[in-house]
Homo-oligomer: A and B are copies of this chain.
Amino acid sequence: MKSNKKSALKENDGIPQPESISTSSLQKIVAKRKVQPSVNELISGILQHDKIALSRAITLIESTNPEHFEKANEIINGCLPYANQSVRIGITGVPGVGKSTFIEAFGTYLTSIGKKVAVLAVDPSSTISHGSILGDKTRMEELVKDENAFIRPSASGETLGGVARKTRETIILCEAAGFDTIIIETVGVGQSETAVHSMVDFFLLLKIAGAGDELQGIKRGIMEMADTIVINKADGDNVAKAKLAKTEFNRALHLFPAKNSGWIPKVTTCSAYEKTGIDSVWNIIAEYLELVKNNDYFNAKRQNQNQYWMLETINEQLKNHFYTNPSIASSLENYKTQVATNQISPFAAAQELLKKYFE
């Protein structure tokens, strides 16, 4: 069972996952890895929409080997001119709302109308839980076999910043590989929704009706980020409850200030299990895209996101460099205690640490 300690979300724990990789698959992968393709081979493979080249390039992005880091950067910059022709959709929802089933149904619908769909994830807890999100591809049986779909579990990493960066870079490669619809899933651990929100064009919050008070257990700010709220499991006895929840959420959404996009968030119901209402989810997204492409919010937002990611990376690296400095690392805890117990002011403590660092 995955630890949910860092999450402010209140709904049920997820279902424990079986091991996701079979031994025979593993052997095949290892065998294939023995021949390391060059950067140029990988780039041209990606541009020819080769999923194996794509997977290998993503593995370089996810690697902690500094040599791979250089290669990954070259591949990303090689793919960049061919990227960006896509819509990026963020999907969040706590465990139990049927996220995998929804993505299976939604992704399959999208490929049926001619889209090429890549499904990625941002799950900073995956180091501990061994990649529970999307790790169990058996829950996406149809989509995983779909020629026009590509599924990749979350990168693992110590920090959300690191995991998010890797996913952000993976988006570029997927787009260059011809995927025009990028779905990025997150389970909502820590600040992962904020990270996902800052890399997508459209943000979808998946909920279910009838889990007690509909509006409880929503993490701060998530409802405000949502461009649409989709109430899943609107099937059988649940249909009436889902409709009621729709009304509730519609009212709640009106409490928030208007979005800069000019878009008014919409609430809809669906059943991923019965595959009903999935088309209306896409219709909402299409309507959104028409609005924001016309008012140029779409481009402006992407440009801002790019700059935001540059600055975020800088800020993260500056902090890493500081906090991993041996002299800082060895004295930080001591300063923290002194500050907590008012033996030194927070500012004086900061000054002393900075002095150590810049010396």
Contacts and interface: CB of A to CB of B under 8 A. Distances in A.
A342 B307 contact: no
A11 to B, nearest CB: 12
B336 A310 contact: yes
A182 to B, nearest CB: 15
B306 A342 contact: yes
Nearest to A217: B257
Interface string A164-182: 0100110010000000000
Query: Is chain A's binding surface mostly helix, strand, loop or mixed?
Result: helix
A346 B307 contact: yes
B345 A80 contact: yes
A348 B76 contact: yes
A296 to B, nearest CB: 13
Contact of A344 (B80, B224, B255): B80
Interface stretch (A200-208, A275-283, A350-358): A350-358
Interface in A247-281: 252, 254-257
B345 A172 contact: yes
Interface of A: 8, 10, 73, 76-77, 80-81, 83-84, 165, 168-169, 172, 215-221, 224, 252, 254-257, 303-304, 306-311, 313-315, 317-319, 321-322, 335-336, 339-351, 353-354, 358
Q: Return the 10 tightest CB-CB contacts between A and B, nearest first.
A: A313-B350, A309-B346, A303-B340, A310-B346, A306-B339, A318-B318, A314-B350, A76-B345, A310-B349, A310-B339
Given A220-B257, A310-B339, 10 more contacts: A73-B348, A77-B345, A219-B257, A255-B255, A304-B340, A307-B336, A307-B339, A307-B346, A317-B354, A318-B354
